[in-house]
Amino acid sequence: MSTHWVEIIVPVGAADVDDVAALIASDVSAAAAGTEQRGDEIVFWVAADQVASALAETRDAVARWQAGGASVDPARVRSAEALPEEVWRDAWKKYFKVSHLTRQFVVVPSWETYAPAEGEVVIDLDPGMAFGTGTHASTRLVLEEIQTLADAGVSPPRILDVGCGSGILAIGAVKRWPGATCIAVDNDPIAVSATVDNATVNHVQDRIDVSLKSLSQIDERFPLVLANIQAHVLRELKAALIEKTAGTLILSGLLTPQAAPLADEFVAAGLTLVAIRASKDDPQWSSVTLRA
């Protein structure tokens, strides 16, 4: 049965649309599944039983941004019935096409056919309400860092994906490194379900252990840890992420001004900074790579 989705709509003054879209994606947890820009409105989706809390969280955030000078008004934030999920999925087909994300990683939706070139790593992925189609700069940044590690000859046998969303990072990692296995966790049951489904489609379900576990429930350290989450969540998870890292830690989901200060906190806690990289496609987003 399809989930009943409701849109949360945030009207924005034209000059501030890009900035507010980035703020919503970064600071509003209810928008973690992704946003859509429609003219001068930013839209995201929540399940019907989450509308009241999502509206309250969004209006609180918009009030803060308004006080800081942004052209937004909490009184204009509203909800509206979304298209049925099957209609929404069909609408994606108009613009979600085969995407070359790095030199090797290619995302292919189910309705497209694609013959991979030699050496390409194909991730079969359909859009869902879980964040991560690869088209967002934060997701692509992590895949680019995975590509950099692979090109350098790094081959981690175990990987931890924190906040797995659609599962794209876990799937990409184990397909690039066929000897690797991965633990993927998220606090959203929709994300866990999406990762299970996508791992199955990609025939890697036996190498990705997906669950709702918290980091405190995982008694292991990993050669590679991936965390594509909002900055404030990364900060809250800092100690746990460091504890689980026995090699490389890649952080993303960061607005570029957030990256260096967050990196400094992780360095102060004992990690070594490898790189801070802004997205070439969308420079307002950056990733941070650190080493234990």
Indicate if 127 and 256 belong to the same structural domain.
yes
Same domain, yes or no: 118 and 251: yes
- pLDDT for 243: 97
Which of 90, 117, 135 represents a domain boundary (last residue)? 90
pLDDT of residue 281: 82
State the residue range of the domain holding 286: 93-291
Question: For 74, which DSSP code?
Answer: G
How many structural domains does the chain have? 2
Q: Which range among 27-31, 55-59, 211-215 shows the weakest confidence by mean pLDDT? A: 27-31
Q: How confident is the model at residue 1 (pLDDT cuts 50, 70, 90)?
A: very low
pLDDT (mean) for 37-49? 85
* pLDDT at residue 85 in the model: 60
| Same-domain pairing of 81 and 41 | yes
Single out the residue in 90, 106, 127 at which a domain terminates: 90
| pLDDT for the residue numbered 89 | 59
Residue 174 has pLDDT above 70, yes or no: yes
More confident residue, 208 or 43: 208
Whether the per-residue pLDDT at 269 is higher than 60: the answer is yes
As a whole number, mean pLDDT of residues 51-56 equals 94
Q: Taking all residues of the chain, what is their mean pLDDT, rounded to a whole number?
A: 89
Residue 33 has pLDDT above 70, yes or no: no
Question: Of 95, 119, 122, which is closest to residue 106 (Cα–Cα)?
Answer: 122
Q: How far apart are CA 101 and CA 61, in angstroms?
A: 32
State percent of the chain over pLDDT 90: 58
> Other CB atoms closer than 10 Å to residue 62's CB: what's the count?
24
On whether both 120 and 60 belong to a single domain, the answer is no
The closest of 243, 236, 234 to 216, measured between CA atoms, is 243
User: What integer pLDDT is reported at residue 231 of this predicted model?
Assistant: 87
More confident position, 182 or 25: 182
Let me know whether 71 and 121 are in one domain: no
Q: Does the predicted model carry a pTM greater than 0.85?
A: no
Alpha-helix residue ranges (DSSP H) falling in 132-284:
137-151, 168-176, 189-201, 231-236, 238-244, 256-268
Whether the predicted pLDDT of 4 surpasses 80? no
Instruction: Compute the radius of gyration of the chain from its Cα atoms.
Output: 19
- pLDDT score of 230 more than 90: no
What value, to the nearest 5°, has the Cα angle with vertex 81 and ends 77 and 86?
135
Same domain for 114 and 170, yes or no, is: yes
Give the residue from 80, 30, 78 showing the smallest Cα distance to 190: 30
More confident residue, 126 or 24: 24
Mean pLDDT of 208-229: 96
